[in-house]
Structure 1
Amino acid sequence: MARKSLIQKFLNTLAWSLVGALLLILAVISLFRFVNPPTSSFMLGYRLAEPGQALHQEWVGLSDISPWMPLAVVASEDQRFPHHWGVDFSAIRKALAEYTAGEGLRGASTITQQTAKNLFLWNGRSFVRKALEAGLALGIDSLWPKKRILEVYLNIAEFGPGIYGVESASQLYFGIPARRLSPVQAARLASVLPNPKVLSAMNPSPYVWDRVAWIQGQMSQLSGLNYLRGVLK
C-alpha cells in the first residue's frame, strides 16, 4: 500500500510539474508576442562556444525591413507560410514518402519551427528536438500573428558566424540598413540560411549564386510582394 502511495505521489508530482512547465512556456511565448526577446538559445550557444568572438545583432521592426526580405525567406524556406498552422503536415508527409522511397531525408521545417528552434532549442536532428520544435511552433502560431513570427525570425536568424538578424547582416555585408535591401540582396541573405556557417552572402560560391537565382525565380512565381500582403498588413 505504501509503495502504491509513493508511486501515485510521484505521478501526481510529475503531472503537475509538466503542467507547470507547459504554462511557463505558454507565458513566455505570450510575452514575446509583445516584447522583443533579449537573446536566443542560438546566440547564447555562440557566446559559450566562442567567448572571445564578437556577436552582431541589432533588432529592427518589420516596418524597417525591406519587404523583399520576408518574401525571400518565404520563397526559400517555407512557401506555404501564410497557410499552415506552424507545422506543414503536407510537407512532412511528402518528405517521409520520399525517404521511404529511398531518397535522402530532407528537412520540412517551417519558418515558425525555425523560429522556435532558434529562440528556445538547440541544433541537431534528434526526434526529441524535432518533437519539441513542432510543439513550440504550434503554440507560437496560435499565439502570434504571422507578421510577428516573420519579425522575430528575421531578427534572430543566423546569417553567418556570429551574425544574427537581418539588420546586422545587411550592414556588415552590404553597408546598408535592412530597409534598403534590394530583391537580389534579400535573396543572397536568404540563400545562406540552410547553413550560414558554411555558405557566404559576402562572397557567394557558384552554389550560392544558383540558390540566389532559384529564390528570385520563386519570388516572382509567388506574385512578388502581393503574396505576403495579407500577412504583412
Structure 2
Amino acid sequence: MTEKKNKLPKNNELQPELVQLQRRLFLRSGLSLGALSLLSGCNLQDGDQVDKVLWAMSRWNDRVQGMLFRPDHLAPTYPASMITKPFPFNAFYDVDSAPEIDGDTYKLEVSGLVRDQRSWNLAQLRALPQESQITRHICIEGWSAIGQWSGVPFRTFLAHIGADTTARYVGFKCADRYYSSIDMATALHPQTILALDFGQSPLPTEYGYPLKLRVPTKLGFKNPKHIAAIFVTNENPGGYWEDQGYNWYSGS
C-alpha cells in the first residue's frame, strides 16, 4: 500500500523476506558519496550530479532485479491463525481522507495496448474466476503484516481484455490520486491479483475499496489501492513514490 502509516502491528520484527527485499535496495540508499565517486568517476560535490548518479544506479538496480525475477517463484503463504489483527492502515494521507467510492456506479477504465477497452463494473469483475491468498504485506518503512486478500488473478483479467503481454509495463491510476506501475512479468505472476475482498468481506474503504492490486512479490507501495484505471504500455509510467526516488522495481 502507499506510505504514511497510522498503526503498526504489535509484532514488528523484520521477517526474512523483508530483509531479502530490502537488501535489493542498498544501492539506492546505502552508498556513501565516496563510494559513489569511485564507482562513477565523477566529482559529486554538486547535488544535481549526486541525484543523476543515484538515479542511474537505481535504474541499474531495477534491471538487475528484473533479471533475477523468477516467474515460478512464489511468495510465502500463511495459515489464517497468523493474520495480523488489526491490520494497519497505510497511505500518504490520514485514514479519514480515504476516498469514498460508490460501488454501484464504479467503472474500471482500461486503455493502452489492449484489444478490448470497455470499462468494467464490480459485478463483471466478481463474475471472473476468483482466488484467495494469505500473504505478507512488506512496507519499505520496516514493518510487515499478514492479511488475506481475494480477487481476480491479474493474468486472467489481462487475458480477458486482450492485453499485449509482450508490452513492458502495466500502469495504475487511483481515486486517491496515487499512481504506480509494475513490469509485465510481475503482472503475469500467479500470485498477483486484483483484490476485491479483504478477509471474508469486500475491501473496507481504508484498505482500498473497491479494488486494489495485491502483489506479494513487491514492497507495499507497489500495491495501489482504490484503482480507477489500468493501462498497458511500453513507456515506464513511474509512480507516486517512484518519481520521488523510491526504487521502481522494489521486489524479489
Instruction: Bin the TM-score by the shorter chain.
Output: under 0.3
Higher relative helix content: 1
User: What's the TM-score once normalised by structure 1's chain length?
Assistant: 0.25
- Answer 1 or 2: which has greater strand percent: 2
